[in-house]
Structure 1
Amino acid sequence: MTATSSADGRSQTELVVNEIAQEIRTLDDGVAWFSGLSPASRREVLQQVGGYAMQAHITAADGRAGVARSRVKPTANPSVMIRMDPPRYGFSSLPADEHVTAFRVLVSVFAVADTRRRQTHCKNACGHPWHNLPTTPVEAEQP
């Protein structure tokens, strides 16, 4: 189950995604973790990461930069969806063979938006626990 919490109460998804966003873990390492999940867990993770992206208030510029960072073709369904104005979510409803691509795009766009917010809204006074992670990746659990 992807909702498994770490010792400090963070879900594995929250931990892995934020480690990728803060460049503590590589996107490829995150994709390897995601690929090891069951299809149902992958859908759950895509819903969670879509929620994180909404909370980060992604912009059109974030969408473009995130798609470039993801190394996914701009014409792929997840790339097109995230660059719409407003962005379209529902990545978990995509066919299963697009889930890894959707994860790459969502996490990359979230990383761009979250970095922007850490540098503006949270600069010098951040109490968000997900912005205060250890500088080495925590071993991600497999379901």
Structure 2
Amino acid sequence: MTEPSSDDGRAFRREIERVVNEIAQGLRTLAAGAHWFSGLAPTHRQTVLQEVAGYAMQAHITAADGRAGVARSGVKPTANPSVMICTDPPRYGFAGLPSAEHVEAFRVLVSVFAVADTRRRETYCKGACGHAWHNLPTAIEQ
């Protein structure tokens, strides 16, 4: 068995970035994103969880973002991923959760990221944003 090339890894990370940001900006539903995630191999799911946790850290999520994201995610507030993201500071070991919890973890992480990223787009980036991931084309523009 051969290892994927570094180009494959970069392409997959770009795909993750696109999918997650489309969900965060309302261009893709959380259900559609969870369906995409569910179709991935277990090792790819772990990569996605690590990437999205990184996005959440970069968005400087707050405890309030965690609670709002969990409410959006449809995941019980008592589920492991929900508890992890709502601690202060949040715990980020989502890829280490049992594989049966990965879809819940994805839903929670993406939902919390969406809350935090929206806040940041409306404050720090408002009117003068050069972040490519904040300027995705709408469905009409595609």
TM-score using structure 1 length = 0.90
The corresponding residue for 1:5 is: 11
Aligned to 1:11, the other structure's residue is in SS state helix
Q: Please give the root-mean-square deviation of Cα atoms over the aligned residues, in Å.
A: 1.7
- Which of 103, 114, 117 matches 1:114? 117
1:38 aligns with 2:38: no
The corresponding residue for 2:24 is: 21
Aligned to 2:88, the other structure's residue is in SS state coil
Same amino acid, percent of matched pairs = 72
Alpha-carbon distance between aligned partners in 2 of 1:71 and 1:14, rounded to the nearest angstrom = 22
Q: Which residue type is aligned with residue 106 of structure 1?
A: L
Larger of the two Rg values belongs to structure:
2
Alpha-carbon distance between aligned partners in 1 of 2:9 and 2:139, rounded to the nearest angstrom = 21
The corresponding residue for 1:62 is: 65
Alpha-carbon distance between aligned partners in 1 of 2:39 and 2:115, rounded to the nearest angstrom = 25
How far off is 1:136 after superposition?
A: 2.1
Structure 1 residues not aligned, in runs of 5+ = 138-143
TM-score using structure 2 length = 0.90
Query: Which ranges of 4 or more aligned residues in structure 1 deviate by more than 4 Å?
Result: none
- Which of 72, 84, 87 matches 1:81? 84
How far off is 1:4 after superposition?
A: 5.0
Q: How many equivalent residue pairs?
A: 134
Alpha-carbon distance between aligned partners in 2 of 1:122 and 1:4, rounded to the nearest angstrom = 26
